[in-house]
Structure 1
Amino acid sequence: MRLDFRAMRADRLLSLLLLLQNRGRMTAAELAAELEVSVRTVYRDVEALAASGVPVYGEPGHDGGYALLDGYRTRLTGLTAGEAEALFLAGLPGPAAELGLGPVLTAAELKLEAALPEGLRRRARRVRERFHLDAPGWYRNADDVPHLPAVAAAVWQRRAVRVRYRRWYAPELVERRLEPYGIVLKAGQWYVVAHAGGDAPRVYRISQILELRPLDEEFEVPPGFDLAAHWQERAERLQERLWQGRAEIRISPAGVERLRETAAPAVVEAVDAGTPEHPGGWRRASIPIESATHAEGQLLMLGPQVEVLAPPDLRERLAAASRAMAALYG
């Protein structure tokens, strides 16, 4: 791969200019650290900026450094205050870094901030100071996705890949040729929507990919394919298939509050729609369950704050687990 060193230097000169514009006076050492170059390179770049007509000047001494003449800055027109704030709020540093776009996002934010008028720039900074978006859910780590940048490159370039991956429901590894249409981040987990033969694209969890080899084969995404709409439709179908039965329960007020932190929205809605009992504020409800095994684990987390009334096999599962725990701690 050939590197365009002139383009690289032009980009670095622009970054240097924007750093001085955003932060004011900076020493050569500070600029070198930000740009990941040597101090000598900073000296040369400052001279190049000055030669091109940028009013940059240096001040010697302990408190010196490089700065731009007051009033020199670029402007970006057409953005409202709300739009500027939304752009800075949309910058997800964690996911961008996993996609291999961390430096690109940082550079883009720097350029945007430099181009904003002073009033909008202050408001945009407040958004970054006061809001932080963390995609993964509690009690779980984000996916380990070493092949995510390669999948993202294939999506961007519209090139097929050959992968070996592990299916969650079977121990054997599978090899597939994939045409990746798009990538989705859901609750800290990365997925790729890809065509692998058949009628419709399927969804693959990227952390399950063990090996990936890019292919020199281009593909075309079907006309009219909408990644967001496809994902929404798939999520709705999955939700419909998820619930395999129902359970009748009695649950205390403390159990309801705990349930709100751990259960799916459909379960919480079913409990809220239940029938209140007196005394004590307990209520009866019919909740959807995925399976007896899954429901057992979810309801055991509530301890004595919930009682299963039906089905009988689920009630016996919790009773047996309770007896075993009593014997263990007795």
Structure 2
Amino acid sequence: MRADRLLSMVLLLRRRGRMTAGELSDELDVSTRTVLRDIDALSSAGVPVYAERGRHGGFALLPDFRTELVGLKDDEALALITAGTERGDHAFGLGSALASALRKVVDTLPEDRRTDLGEAARRLLVEPETDLLSRRRSTEDVADAVMVEVRRAVLTGHRLRFTYAAPGATPRERTVDPIGLVTVRERTYLLATKDGEDRTYRVARMAQAEVLPEVAQRPDQVDLDRIWQERSARFLSTDHLPVVVRVDPTRREELLRNARAVRSQETDSDGWVRLHVMFEDLRHATWALWQLDTGAEAVAPDALRRALRDRARELVARYGRSTE
């Protein structure tokens, strides 16, 4: 790990020129004391890094200290740089690793190509925060420690134990055989088996995760695209509740965070979005629609409309009485 950090430090100094110990510590997520030790290690290894004293001082490399990567085409380098933008660096918790890899790639390019590609990358924007209707992207909050354990279990082929909380349910501990990770519309799913049965889990709903020493029972070869398509089709054909709902466009993403699947979408004449979605059951659908208060309306099924109506009547009756 230290060797990788030392290389990252060299590449940072190559790209940015002079940097203070504080700036390096923030970038590399280590203490300033560690930075100073690493600077000494680089100097001892013959890397021409030197310190500039004074108010605007810091550490820098002698000019022209670099290596060049041959064989990398402009489109290939541009693809890597674009993939490393803010919108593309969060998948599977690998953002910092991607940033480090990109520093290494960019630093090996000739100066004129780095300048041209940097300008080109600024003209390509991947998944901005909002769309043309100013609706913000929905993002999941996955704990770094959880993602590290889940990813490690998938890549090493060991069983995984975690605490999982489905919507409206009490958190429970699960032990599974992980198969792979899939990211769809900003959501990350763990594909796994439990006691030989297929299971799919939202990683954002895991509170804790731990890789176990036992080897996972799973096939040696995997086709994640095929498995995902099969599970999606099975999901829509099994015992789930289809719901038609009208929702205020500003609350759409909030609804989709709780829905199990979306079958279709259209816009009504008043600007509201009409969605055909799937929920686990009537209880789940009632809970999800209730969270949106007046920002959504259940159109079908009638059982869902009755459940929401009965709950509203109960609250009206309760709060309609004076407490004096």
Same fold (TM over 0.5): yes
Match of 1:20 among 13, 22, 32: 13
1:85: Cα distance to partner?
A: 3.6
8 Å CA contact 2:150–2:160 kept in 1: the answer is no
Q: Which residues in structure 2 correspond to 1:203-242 (within 5 Å)?
A: 203-206=200-203, 207-208=205-206, 212=210, 214-217=212-215, 221-223=219-221, 225-241=222-238
Please point out which of 84, 87, 91 is paired with 1:88: 84
**Which digits, 9 at most, give the CA deviation of each residue in 1:137-191, with x for residues without a partner?**
65x8624574432232222222x32636557498695664x43221234566543
1:75 counterpart SS class: coil
Among 182, 185, 189, the alignment partner of 1:184 is 182
Judge conservation of contact 1:155–1:182 (CA < 8 Å) in 2. Answer: yes
8 Å Cα contact 1:26/1:65 also seen in 2 = yes
Instruction: Confirm whether residue 161 of structure 1 aligns to residue 154 of structure 2.
Output: no
**Are the aligned partners of 2:49 and 2:61 in contact in 1 as well (CA < 8 Å)?**
yes
Q: How far off its partner does 1:201 sit?
A: 4.1
Q: Distance in 1 between matches of 2:294 and 2:56?
A: 63
> What does residue 192 of structure 2 align with?
194
Match of 1:78 in 2: 73
Please give the TM-score of this superposition, normalised by the length of structure 1.
0.63
Aligned length: 296
Map of 2:149 onto structure 1: 150
TM-score (norm 2): 0.64
Separation of aligned partners in 1, 2:95 and 2:137: 21
Equivalent pair of 2:152/2:211 in contact (CA under 8 Å): no
Q: Could you say if the C-alpha distance between residues 12 and 123 of structure 1 is closer, same or farther in structure 2, counting changes exceeding 3 Å?
A: same
Q: 1:202 to 1:145 in 2, by over 3 A?
A: farther
Q: CA RMSD in A?
A: 4.8
- Identical counterparts, % of pairs: 26
**Partner SS for 1:20:** helix
CA distance in 2, matches of 1:259, 1:32: 40
Give the Cα separation in 1 of the matches to 2:179 and 2:296: 46
CA distance in 1, matches of 2:118, 2:315: 57
Decide whether the 8 Å contact of 2:13 with 2:19 is kept in 1.
yes
Choose from 41, 44, 47 the match for 1:45: 41
Cα deviation for residue 92 of structure 1 reads: 4.8
Q: Which structure has the larger Rg over C-alpha atoms?
A: 1
Report the Cα offset of residue 30 of structure 1: 4.5
Please tell me whether the aligned partners of residues 243 and 277 of structure 2 are also in contact (alpha carbons under 8 angstroms). Answer: yes
2:119 maps to what in 1?
123
Contact 1:85 1:127 in 2 (8 A): no
Provide Cα deviations, 1:294-324, integer angstroms capped at 9, x if missing partner.
555666647498585x765455445444544
CA separation of 1:104/1:236 partners in 2, compared to 1, >3 Å: closer, same or farther?
same
The residue identity in structure 2 corresponding to 1:122 is G
- CA shift, 1:228, in A, is 2.9
Q: 1:41 to 1:313 in 2, by over 3 A?
A: closer
Match of 2:133 in 1: none
